[in-house]
Amino acid sequence: MEEQLKALVEGQERLQIVVDRIDSDLAKDRQDLQNFRVELAGVKQGLEELRKTVSNLPKKTQDKVAEAVQPMMEEAQNLGEKIEKKRFKILTEPFSFRRLFKKGG
């Protein structure tokens, strides 16, 4: 009888060791899960900020292009106005470059 009692106590001690290991593993798993949740929340926030940045890129690009092209457009418009104001000589006879370089002419 004493032997059976000793065997039961040893079996109960082994079971307690197994239960303690399982409990320890579960506690570690809970902590890992909590850490994962915190990291996931950080990733979600970073992803949301990235989405906002990416959604603003076309508008920023459009603004930059408009800003860069504006001086060229103004210059082209000014050049067009200068050309319209310029006086042109109407030639009644065919134009020849020889007349430009002719001696005494």
Q: pLDDT tens across 31-69, in order? A: 999 999 999 999 999 999 999 988 888 888 888 888 888
Q: How far apart are CA 92 and CA 23, in angstroms?
A: 108
Mean pLDDT score of the chain, rounded to an integer? 86
Per-residue DSSP letters for 4-17?
A: HHHHHHHHHHHHHH
Q: How far apart are CA 6 and CA 9, in angstroms?
A: 5
Residue 92: pLDDT band by 50, 70, 90 thresholds? Answer: low
Centre a 10 Å sphere on the Cβ of residue 104 and count the other Cβ atoms it contains: 3
Q: How far apart are CA 77 and CA 72, in angstroms?
A: 9
Highest mean pLDDT among 1-10, 15-24, 73-82, 83-92 belongs to 15-24
Return the higher-pLDDT residue of 89 and 45.
45
pLDDT at 97 over 70: no
Query: For the whole model, what pTM was predicted?
Result: 0.46
Cβ atoms 99, 105 nearer than 8 A? yes
Place of tokens 């079996």: 11
